[in-house]
Structure 1
Amino acid sequence: MIVNNSLDEVKKRENALSIIKNIVGSAGRSSLFDLTGLSGGFIASPSELSLLETYVGPAIFEEALQKVGVEHMGGDKVIPLNRTSSGILATILTIVNKDSNVVHYLAELPAHPSIPRSCALVGANYSETDKFDEFSIPENTSLVVITGSTMDHKVIDEDEFKKVIEMAHEKNIPVMVDDASGARLRTVIFNQAKACDLGADIAITSTDKLMPGPRGGLMAGCEDLIDEIKVKVNQFGLEAQPPAVLAMLNGIKNFSEDNLINSLERKDELFELLNSNFENFEKTPTGVMITPQGLSKEINIKHNLSDDDLAFVFSFILLRDHGIITIPAVSMPGASATIRFDLSTEDAFKLNLNDLNKKIESSFKKLQKAVSNEDECREIVFIS
């Protein structure tokens, strides 16, 4: 194996960022194509930037964020956070007791690793399932978690969503929704209601996923519970700083549903092009993807790499040779190694789909040549 642990994942990401820096330095930003769906952004005017002081910034921009944040997410009140994972941690620190149960329902396993990791920190018993018929809430449960859209964009059925919330509330158990991309994906593409409108006590989204905001988290929910969680957020330094708050505010203001809707037709076109040479690409709500297992099935050369390793090597060839950024190259430890080509991003609309198809084919051919040489693959992933 090439990537064996979280430290390897950190080193892998550092190399990807180095490659990105070199591409920008030598060929300019226009030579990069961020197809992660997590490209985010930082929209700010000069007059707004002049207000980014320690206390002036929050006084002005956090108040403004309350209005647009509640409109975007529902609920009574919002908290801006430095990561979605920070909000998940703060919620679990606030609500979950040692030795109590946390049960999680999602459309497809696994959950984002921040959830079980946070439960482990407080000594809670954590379980997750993607089979609705097997979902239950045992005694001594302190929190029910729902994922609106998984890391690979599998979206929960809305009827099941509402039923899990009802089951929890019948036992007076609060519900937290991890709606990282779902706050936009579910509502725009699948016409589902906002999590808080469905009855969730807390919902959190990532402000860089499928919208032009910064890497950060925005939590919405019942005012009393939001206030309790905010205490933990401030105690542990999990709050978003003024620049991120400003960028969240403007990211939500500039979010366009049209980009998600317009990606639907383009994904079908790209999927058909890829089907000429591949058998294991799948459609996502806003693009196409290939799982590590699917990529492994495409390889017809003997090798000793794991499925995830194949995805990492493929993602680095795409980045190094064509400036295409996919999640496995730049992801944090524990993230899915599925390679997604999200067509809702600004960079995606600059790409001709025939050209993108050729770049993917070319990168796969190089992957095929490299897989039998583990040292070469290790160099691709770890050395700029």
Structure 2
Amino acid sequence: MSAVDVAAAGNAPAAREAAPRPARLRPRDVVKVGAVGLRTRPPRTFLSALGIAIGIAAMLAVVGISSSSRADLDRTLDALGTNLLTVAPGQSMTGGDVRLPLTAEEMVERIGPVESVSAIGQVTDASVYRTDRIPEAEHRGLGVYAARTGLPSTTGAQLRDGAWLNEATGRYPAVVLGATAAERLGIGRAGPEVRVLVGGEWFTVLGILEPAPLAPELDTAALIGWRAAETELGFDGHATTLYARAAQERVEAAQRVLGPTANPASPGSVEVSRPSDALVAQRAADEAFTRLLLGLGAVALLVGGVGVANTMVISVLERRSEIGLRRALGATRGQIRLQFLAESLLLSGLGGAGGALLGTGATAAYATSQGWPAVIPPWAAGGGLAVTLVIGALAGLYPALRAARLPPTEALATP
């Protein structure tokens, strides 16, 4: 071995130590490098981010609107109370109709947990019409009921216009219309000059009710005083529905004894229900429908992720020269991989942020139009953004690996 070779061999470690090491990219530098591809192709960036945004907006809007609806239902239940029970006559063992005794209200009032009782009684063979020129067959599905004066306080029904029946007006031909009944009759306000034909007799419209969530049968009813129903329309005095408010902590106990108390002679023919349970069941059905819509939102989000992956693959193909130049200047495969992965995450993050804004705005607008409180669960917003970033990482993983594997000479040779 010559002296020159010996010297070169001795200086080899020094030469390796002197060789420059690739510079490390700081997080800020990674973001800047990843944003280059987004800034240079704004139309493609916008369309790819829009696909993600639509998926996130759909998911947030579905969750937000459903949550707002449930919040409104909970608010309604809190206002109306969940301690209302209804008692109605059923059928006998032979299939015949059973009537509640005339003393049913008085007997139910004696139940310890019961705080208040009221009732309505259907006036058979009586219909309500706007004028006397309407054919009898066109009764529009409205019923005529005798009503006790304490009905609103027990059922939670509210007046939209006018006044409720009292001991004085309940003796005369005056009527209070349910919300749907007033709408079908074309009556928007109550007053002494507004009259309807009830059972062939003219009745003054004393008031109009708001929709009654816990007593929906009142919505299609024309309600008249108990005494007026007996004297004017021949009402027999038998209640067809009893409403009982029980102490909140003893509702179940009252529910068990309502049937035997209301009709001791035939307790098995009495139907006792809790209207708020139907609303809770409705909420459960809404939740099932929400899950279906969330599935559709997830599909939209997946389509957006495919769009991001497609954009990143095309970006790698178009930027082979840039990749080769960076590799020739000393960039490592890991840095190239990190660059394209960061670009994909930034693209997904933009779409996720835009979708969150769109979903929040849509929820707020719809909830406001319905008079609901706007509710967007934090887990939905946070989870949506997290899912977006996961999809962005998965969508950008293959293009990033492909870019990192490109040899510098092959990339630079690409025209």
TM-score between both structures, scaled by the size of structure 2: 0.21
TM-score between both structures, scaled by the size of structure 1: 0.22
- Structure showing greater Rg: 2
Q: Which has the higher helix share?
A: 2
Q: Which has the higher contact order (CA 8 A, sep 6+)?
A: 2
